[in-house]
Chains A and B, each alone.
Chain A
Amino acid sequence: MLFFAVNVSAQQISTADLQVTGLTCSMCSNATQKSLETLNFISSVKPDLNKNTFILTFKKDANINLDLVRKKVQDAGFSVGGLTASFNFNQVKIDDKGQAVVDGNVYRFVNAKSKTLNGTVKASIVDKNFISGSAFKKQATTANSDAYASGTGIVNGKKTRIFHLVLS
């Protein structure tokens, strides 16, 4: 337990590419943009109206909640088709089961284990409602994590949100 506490350091997601599905017009994109802009940890939302993507820039040292990003997209009436974030990792150790704990955030890497991450690392969230329903089902058959279906698991004796990541 102490092992994690001494090894983690300031974790920060600087930006994220958000793919939104179901958008059919610029009014839909605008509604999604306005919904995302209500999050106080986002500093800017830059849309690509042709690709239905948004580039999110997060505030420095803000507490970033990716589940709220997903909720705001759903509130606007749409779904997240993909979210790839740029993490700034400082000597983050992924254990032999693919798990890393960074400032209390628990990540399970689908395609990495027993390795140290340092610097800017791009990774995609592959949890439920962060990818399409069919992609989630497909991922679930290969995901080697008991927490994948629910997105939560017991870490250090506490029920914790666990994000599943694929390193780009």
Chain B
Amino acid sequence: MALMIIGAYTNGFAQELYVFTEPASNMPTKSIGVRITNEGMFNNPGFVSRTIPEVMIGFNKNLMMHAQAFLSDMDGKYRLEGGSLYAKYRFLSLDEAHSHLRASAFGRVSTSKRPTYTRDINLEGDNSGIQGGLIFTQLLHKLALSTTLGYTHAFENSDRQIAGMPQPKNMLSYSLSSGYLVLPVVYKDYKQPNFNVYLELLGKTDPSSGQSYLDIAPAIQMILNSTTRIDLGYRFQATGNMANRYTKNMYLLRAEFNFFNVLK
């Protein structure tokens, strides 16, 4: 992290297209983004993976939405296990020449056919539930910091539960993200690739059991043709006492394609 901060002050610029979290900024109005994400988890019992097709729509400068589907082999063979809708509303933008502060509120509703093997509520595939929260993103010269605070409530899942399985109800989530533009040092045109690096801290606390964890998640990102984004990240647990987590050791590989001004 120290290296990244030093790097940022010598030749980098702040970047906020975070890989594991969303920034408070929105996508452009009347634009559509398409993502395909692959997550690989090296935990219990062996390697499993999940694929997430995703469509993102920018309705206006303040409101955007994501729709996701979740497919995985986590319960045997590959199948569609659920979906999620996510909406984000930006309610604050204070833009200056070399700094900005933005704040957004978000909400998510998810379904999943999966039984519950861990207290770690994950609305991106593992649990059905709702989530609400706030995002603050601050760009200060060459440093971009973003924090997300969320509260998640998981729906009852008794019909798919086996005796003794955990039944998590609520979860607090919090994250701190930073990102830097490493290349190009000098721009020539839109075709030039951008190279960004990120470091994110991702934490959750189960208020009923007191169990919690904090993951460190570094990531690299390429932006091609000023429209296509390729993300590669890895998250691992720095500290925590939540058992049987799926996302404890996980890579994430994503391609995102943006289509600007395609909606009328």
Shortest distance from the beta carbon of A29 to any chain B beta carbon, whole Å: 7
Number of residues on chain B facing chain A (CB within 8 A): 39
Given A21-B96, A35-B261, A27:B227 Cβ within 8 A: yes
Segment touching B, from A76-84, A86-94, A139-147: A76-84
CB-based nearest A residue for B223: A27
Question: Which of the listed residues B15, B60, B187, B192 has the most CB atoms from chain A within 10 Å of its own CB?
Answer: B187
Shortest distance from the beta carbon of A113 to any chain B beta carbon, whole Å: 29
* B203 beta carbon closer than 8 Å to chain A: no
* B61 beta carbon closer than 8 Å to chain A: yes
Q: Which residues of B contact A78 (CB under 8 A)?
A: 95
- Whether A24 and B16, one on each chain, are in contact in the complex, defined by CB atoms closer than 8 angstroms, is yes
Report B223-264 CB contacts with A as 1/0, cut-off 8 Å: 100110100000000000000000000000000001011000
Q: Which residues of B contact A74 (CB under 8 A)?
A: 61
CA distance A76 to B25 in the complex (A): 10
CB contacts between A and B, total, < 8 Å: 97
Report A59-85 CB contacts with B as 1/0, cut-off 8 Å: 000000000000000111111010000
* B100 beta carbon closer than 8 Å to chain A: yes
Report B58-79 CB contacts with A as 1/0, cut-off 8 Å: 0011000000000000000000
CB-based nearest A residue for B262: A34
* B30 beta carbon closer than 8 Å to chain A: yes
Q: Which residues of B contact A166 (CB under 8 A)?
A: none
Given A26-B192, A30-B190, A38-B261, A75:B144 Cβ within 8 A: no
| A interface residue count range (under 10 / 10 to 19 / 20 to 34 / 35 or more) | 20 to 34
- Whether B258 and A27, one on each chain, are in contact in the complex, defined by CB atoms closer than 8 angstroms, is yes
Q: Which residues of A contact B229 (CB under 8 A)?
A: 27
* A101 beta carbon closer than 8 Å to chain B: no
Shortest distance from the beta carbon of B3 to any chain A beta carbon, whole Å: 21
* B27 beta carbon closer than 8 Å to chain A: yes
CB-based nearest B residue for A75: B29
- Whether B144 and A35, one on each chain, are in contact in the complex, defined by CB atoms closer than 8 angstroms, is no
CA distance A133 to B96 in the complex (A): 7
Q: Which residues of B contact A26 (CB under 8 A)?
A: 187, 190, 192, 194, 223, 226
- Contacts of B5-59 to chain A: CB distance below 8 A: 13-17, 25-31
* B103 beta carbon closer than 8 Å to chain A: no
Shortest distance from the beta carbon of B57 to any chain A beta carbon, whole Å: 14
Shortest distance from the beta carbon of B12 to any chain A beta carbon, whole Å: 11
CB-based nearest A residue for B191: A26
Q: Which residues of B contact A21 (CB under 8 A)?
A: 95-98, 100
- Contacts of B85-102 to chain A: CB distance below 8 A: 93-98, 100
Shortest distance from the beta carbon of B250 to any chain A beta carbon, whole Å: 26
* A50 beta carbon closer than 8 Å to chain B: yes
- Whether B260 and A24, one on each chain, are in contact in the complex, defined by CB atoms closer than 8 angstroms, is no
CB-based nearest A residue for B256: A27
Of the candidates B13, B95, B261, the one whose C-beta lies within 8 Å of that of A79 is B95
- Whether A132 and B97, one on each chain, are in contact in the complex, defined by CB atoms closer than 8 angstroms, is yes
CA distance A27 to B194 in the complex (A): 9
Q: List 12 A-B contacts (CB under 8 A).
A: A22-B95, A22-B100, A24-B17, A24-B181, A25-B15, A27-B258, A31-B31, A35-B28, A35-B29, A37-B261, A49-B189, A81-B96
